[in-house]
A and B are shown apart, each in its own frame.
Chain A
Amino acid sequence: MSPLVIYLLLLKATVTSFAGMGSLPQIRQDFVETRRAMTDEQLSQAVLVGRATIGPMGAYVVAVGYFAGGPLGATAGWLAMITPALVAIPLLTLIRRWLHLPRIRAAVDGVIIASAVLLIGSGASLAIDAVQQLMRLKS
């Protein structure tokens, strides 16, 4: 598979997701089922490597790129991971322009509060996962 195709497919997956592993269903659909560029086992390996590595979990797309296209595929995966982040700059510019309006400020406050709720969910999920892993190791 060419690096350009890998980049575009992974970009489609990362642009339409809003969290590290959120792109997984789309990636499985494109790389495992539709194009058969990798196996389910390789995808699982990519996810495992991404989880066990420092930094963002979204880095697993680098492994997906590697399994689909070697070192150039891995580079395409890295580019697909970082490209969507640049959208934050125009978003900041827009929000900064309207933030003095009380209703917009209230909307941003609502997003911050909901983000905290989502973080509590993520933190609890991580803690449960870690405890289950430790219990499995003990038994």
Chain B
Amino acid sequence: MSTRAPGEPATRPAEGPSLRELVAAVAYEANRTVGGGLVSIELLRRRFTTRSWIDAADHGVFIAISRFTPGTVVLAYVVLLGWRFHRWLGALLALVVASVPASLIVFSLSATLARIDRYAVVRVLLAVGILVASLLVLSSAWHLLRPYLPKPSRLRTFIVAGIAIVLVVLGATPVRVLLVAAIVSSVLPLPESTK
């Protein structure tokens, strides 16, 4: 685990990617799968943690903030990655490379009125792609939960997760689920180690 606060900029250049590495990593990982931005976030997490550019604590905080940011979650996530290492330039470039390729494809398909879903082979490929994407999303959930499962935080985790599950089943919006989870978690007794 890093000793600095999550989201704090790296003090030594060796700790993070160069601007070029950052842009290349975001452009590649954010644009190589169907299934939505949550899959891209998991791919970005793997790339950035493998290279020790971010740790699990950074990723957790970035996920929390991205969830509370209006709009598309993955775009907020890449903005935070860019900001973390190269401030505004990194944030803006990461945002552009994460959104332009998909936007160009959407624009092209809309402009040509291509009905890609009429081809059976395309539908099969999309379904398989989404199935793989679902596994990546579940893997992302596991990596978020894992640090909270050992004692002494286990009971707190089960309580917060249980309440979140009930709210999801009742049809609460994601923001309400997150807000309630934040309030419940902050009022529960703190483990001795964190007081």
Contacts and interface: CB of A to CB of B under 8 A. Distances in A.
Given A110-B182, A112-B60, A117-B161, A83 B117 contact: no
Given A54-B105, A123-B137, A107 B8 contact: no
A88 B190 contact: no
Contacts, number: 318
Given A57-B37, A110-B181, A111-B181, A84 B127 contact: no
Interface SS, B side: helix
A129 B186 CA distance: 36
B188 A106 contact: yes
A124 B32 CA distance: 21
Say which size band chain B's interface belongs to: 35 or more
A54 B101 contact: yes
A106 B5 contact: no
B67 to A, nearest CB: 5
A68 to B, nearest CB: 11
A103 B190 CA distance: 8
Nearest to B163: A114
B52 to A, nearest CB: 20
A91 to B, nearest CB: 5
Q: Tell me the dominant secondary structure on chain A's binding face.
A: helix
Given A50-B106, A106-B190, A119-B141, A81 B71 contact: yes
Contacts of A124: 134, 138
Given A55-B101, A107-B186, A111-B68, A117 B117 contact: no
Nearest to A129: B130
A42 to B, nearest CB: 9
28 contacts: A14-B72, A15-B71, A18-B68, A53-B102, A53-B109, A55-B74, A56-B102, A58-B71, A62-B103, A62-B107, A66-B110, A71-B111, A84-B71, A85-B71, A85-B78, A85-B95, A89-B80, A89-B83, A92-B7, A92-B80, A95-B7, A96-B7, A100-B5, A105-B194, A109-B148, A109-B153, A113-B161, A130-B131
